[in-house]
Structures are given as structure tokens and as C-alpha cells.
């Protein structure tokens, strides 16, 4: 696994140089970088603290992250098939509009704009603030996050080639940093009480309502496994490169996620991390001291730049695809001379800034997770209506894997409604508001 990850890292660095010549299309490595950077974000560095409130056995934690990985891999197979049947950027908006009904596709694009991609951007910069604020509260506040969003939006406003170059480099930094954490975490002996507990309590914990809620945090952490499917029109030879990017990217991240949770538990106690966002800082501060912990906070914040970058790139394409088809949004159906949907990109940035300044980390994370889970389930289910065309990727074990995905997802959403009704209802309100604006658009 380490050899594969290091090889991929070297490829990213070389690709960042080679990409200077590319202006319109990206290869599978950049598409995989988009998948990896979108997945490895706030969730893997913050979810464990909330999971430990109810679930504390190490086997339970490992099972959560393995299940999340399998869940994401099924989704990757499905989106690879959907994406290679529709050679058009827009992802779920295209799939749902053409396979189920235009209103379903519209609602997905609406929720992506208002919460699906804007909320993860807000969550990422909130996490950056959480890690950096203890170092210097006067500089690293909410407005620091706003500045990050503005700068990255400006970078992505230039060209697809510029976006690709920046994203490859930022993803290479992210992957290198995560691998370093894993190597250090397993190389050093814990210096104090550990959170590892390999007892038999997992047999009871997996049936607790808290296990389903914890799984929702995990599925949020895996959000992004479908990233490359949103920019099919910008990928060279998508029928070959899209499946490779989705499946390899998701598989690599799954291994990394499981190893990181074990590292955090190895170097911090359950009491220290329970309910906390900055679990990585806590674990490595225990291992190396406060000064080294501060450097770790800086690096975690830097690697989150790639996450924000990925969501800005992807989300704007969905909004643009919607704006072309619906009169209410025609005003933002504009691309610059280099093919960037400039108005959709900046609208997404503005909404992300609003969420950053008005929401709390946990609340935004939960209602965003609910909406993303709901709409992702609909997209996976849409494959049942797909009549595949020659040359497109075919998902293995279809439709058994997709049925398992849908059933599993409904179980998670049901528990979420019971255990976190407020956040779930907020998520549903975003969906309902999308239906209202759909009919307003049709009238206009």
C-alpha cells in the first residue's frame, strides 16, 4: 500500500510539471487527484471525535470506516457506469434528469449549490480555523476562511489548465502529508494512555443507534468518491480514464482512512478526543509536544486547501449544467474564454462564505451529510433505468451492489431522522425549497 501511495505521489509531482502544456483536457491521474483531494478533507481529521461519543471500541471504529469504504466503492462502480454513458459534465444533475425526471436532477443541482458542495467548502475552512485559531486567534478567525475561499475561487477562474496544475500540486502535498502521519504514527510508541480497545464490546455497539449516526459521519468523510464524474466533459477519453480515476482513487483513500483512525486512537485517549474536532492535533501533540503540534496544525490547514479547491471546481460545473436548462438561472450560464463557468463559480463561493459566517461546524456537517446521502442514493438508484451503450463501463454484480447501497443508505437516513431530527429537517427543507424554485423557473 505504501509503495503504491508513494508511486502515485511521484506521478502527481511529475504530472504537475507536465500539466503546464495542457489547457483543455485532463488525464486519469488528475481526475484521480480530484477524487483523492475531495475525499481526504475535514472528515478524516475530525469525525472520530464525534464517533467516540457513542462508539468506543476499536473494532467498531475500524468496521465503520471499512463499511464506509465499501459503500463508496459501490458508488464509484455505479458512477463510472453512469459517467461513461453520458459524456457530459454535470454528474448527478445529468444522470437524474435523463434517467428519472428533470425535477429530480434540478433538485440535486439546487441542493449542490445551496448545501451539497458549498457546505463542505464551509466545513473545510471552519476546520482550518479550528486547527489554527489556538495558535493565533486574532489572525485565524472566520474572516481567514473567507479569504481562503476568495483566493481559491480566483485561481479556478483562469482556465482548466490552471485549475489542473494547482490541484495536482495541492493534492500531492495532501497525500504526502497523510502518508507521513501514518508512518510516524506507527513508528513511535505511544507515550501515554491509548484509545485502542480491542475488546468484545463491538458486538453490542454495532446495534446502537449511535453506530448508524457515526456511520453518517463516516459517509460524509468519504464524500468526494464521485468527484471525477462531475467533469466528464473535461476528461480525456472518459470511457477509459473515468472508471480508473474513481475506483483507484476510492480504494487508496479507504486504506488511508482506516490506518489514520488507528493512528489517532494509538496516541490519544477516548476522553481526550471525544466530542473534539481537532483529533489529529491532540494525538500528535501527545506524541511530540505542543510545538510540534502547532506545526501539524499548519500542515493540516494547508492540505485542506486541496479539498476546498476540489469542491469549487466540481460544484460550479453542476450549477452551470443546471443554469443552461432552466430559465431562472440563465443569467449564470456564462463561460469565460477559457471555458470556465465563471458566474456559477463565484455564486458558489458567495454561498460558501455565508455558510462559513453563519453556521456551526457540527450542524452544517450533519445537514449537509443528510442531503448528500439522500441525493447520492437517488443517483445510485437511477442506474436501474439505464440502458447501457456499447463501450461504456459496466458495474460488476449489477444490480446486487446497487440494491445493497440503497438499502444501507435508507437505514442510515432513517436513523439520522430519529437521532438528529433538527439537522435532518433542515436538510429536507433545502430539498423542498429546490422543488419550489423548479416550478418558479418553469413559469418564468
pLDDT tens string 169-219: 888 888 888 888 899 999 988 877 788 888 888 888 888 877 877 887 888
Question: What pLDDT score does 4 carry?
Answer: 43
Question: What pLDDT score does 279 carry?
Answer: 86
Between CA 76 and CA 33 the distance in angstroms is: 15
Q: Is residue 15 domain-resident? A: yes
**Within 13 Å and on the Cβ side, how many CA atoms surround 23?**
5
Region of residue 274 (phi > 0: left; psi between -120 and 50: alpha; otherwise: beta):
beta
Question: What pLDDT score does 10 carry?
Answer: 39
Q: Give the residue numbers spanning the domain of 332.
A: 2-387+414-443
Question: What pLDDT score does 440 carry?
Answer: 81
Residue 190: which residues within 8 A CB-CB, separation 6 or more? Answer: 266, 267, 286, 287
Cell (9 digits) for 153: 475561487
CB 254 within 8 Å of CB 72: yes
Q: Is residue 401 domain-resident? A: no
Strand partners, 235: 26
Q: Is residue 69 domain-resident? A: yes
pLDDT beneath 70: ranges in the chain: 1-24, 293, 359-363, 442-444
Residue 205: which residues within 8 A CB-CB, separation 6 or more? Answer: 54, 55, 56, 57, 60, 211
**Total domains in the fold of the chain:** 1
Q: Is residue 394 domain-resident? A: no
Q: Is residue 56 domain-resident? A: yes
CATH number, domain with residue 110: 1.20.1740.10
Q: Is residue 400 domain-resident? A: no
Q: Is residue 199 domain-resident? A: yes
Closest CA to 347 of 312, 375, 372, 309: 312
Between CA 306 and CA 358 the distance in angstroms is: 23
Q: Is residue 403 domain-resident? A: no
CB 257 within 8 Å of CB 69: yes
Amino acid at each position: 500500500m505504501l509503495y503504491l501511495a508513494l508511486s502515485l505521489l511521484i506521478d502527481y509531482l511529475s504530472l504537475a510539471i507536465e500539466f503546464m502544456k495542457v489547457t483543455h483536457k485532463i488525464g486519469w491521474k488528475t481526475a484521480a487527484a480530484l477524487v483523492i483531494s475531495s475525499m481526504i478533507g475535514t472528515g478524516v481529521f475530525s469525525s472520530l471525535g464525534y464517533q467516540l461519543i457513542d462508539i468506543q471500541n476499536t473494532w467498531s471504529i475500524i468496521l465503520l470506516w471499512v463499511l464506509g469504504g465499501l459503500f463508496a466503492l459501490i458508488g464509484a462502480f455505479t458512477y463510472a457506469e453512469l459517467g461513461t454513458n453520458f459524456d457530459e459534465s454535470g454528474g448527478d444533475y445529468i444522470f437524474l434528469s435523463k434517467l428519472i425526471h428533470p425535477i429530480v436532477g434540478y433538485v440535486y443541482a439546487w441542493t449542490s449549490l445551496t448545501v451539497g458542495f458549498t457546505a463542505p467548502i464551509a466545513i473545510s475552512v471552519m476546520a482550518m480555523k479550528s486547527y489554527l485559531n489556538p495558535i493565533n486567534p486574532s489572525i485565524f478567525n472566520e474572516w481567514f476562511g473567507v479569504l481562503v475561499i476568495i483566493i481559491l475561487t480566483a485561481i479556478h477562474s483562469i482556465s482548466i489548465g490552471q485549475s489542473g496544475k494547482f490541484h495536482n500540486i495541492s493534492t500531492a502535498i495532501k497525500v504526502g502529508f497523510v502518508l507521513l502521519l501514518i508512518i510516524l504514527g506507527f513508528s513511535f510508541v505511544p507515550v501515554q494512555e491509548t484509545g485502542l480497545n480491542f475488546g468484545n464490546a463491538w458486538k453490542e455497539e454495532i446495534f446502537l443507534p449511535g453506530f448508524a449516526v457515526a456511520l453518517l459521519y463516516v459517509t460524509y468523510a468519504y464524500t468526494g468518491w464521485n468527484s471525477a464524474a462531475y467533469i466528464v466533459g473535461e476528461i480525456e477519453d472518459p470511457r477509459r480514464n473515468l472508471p480508473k480515476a474513481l475506483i483507484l482513487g476510492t480504494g487508496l483513500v479507504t486504506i488511508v482512512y482506516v490506518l489514520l483512525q488507528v493512528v489517532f486512537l494509538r496516541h490519544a485517549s477516548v476522553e481526550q478526543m471525544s466530542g473534539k474536532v481537532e483529533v489529529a492535533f491532540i494525538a500528535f501533540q501527545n506524541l511530540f509536544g505542543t510545538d510540534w503540534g502547532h506545526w501539524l496544525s499548519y500542515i493540516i490547514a494547508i492540505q485542506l486547501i486541496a479539498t476546498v479547491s476540489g469542491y469549487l471546481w466540481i460544484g460550479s460545473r453542476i450549477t452551470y449544467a443546471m443554469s443552461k436548462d432552466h430559465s431562472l438561472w440563465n443569467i449564470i450560464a456564462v463561460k469565460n474564454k477559457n471555458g470556465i463557468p465563471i458566474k456559477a463559480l463565484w455564486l458558489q463561493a458567495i454561498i460558501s462564505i455565508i455558510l462559513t459566517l453563519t453556521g456551526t461546524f457540527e450542524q452544517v456537517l450533519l445537514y449537509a451529510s443528510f442531503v448528500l446521502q439522500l441525493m447520492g442514493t437517488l443517483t445510485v438508484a437511477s442506474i436501474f433505468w439505464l440502458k447501457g451503450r456499447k463501450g461504456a463501463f459496466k458495474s460488476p454484480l449489477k444490480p446486487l451492489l446497487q440494491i445493497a447501497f440503497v438499502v444501507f443508505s435508507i437505514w442510515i437516513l432513517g436513523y439520522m431522522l430519529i437521532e438528529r431530527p433538527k439537522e435532518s429537517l433542515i436538510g429536507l427543507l433545502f430539498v423542498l425549497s429546490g422543488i419550489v424554485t423548479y416550478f418558479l423557473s418553469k413559469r418564468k
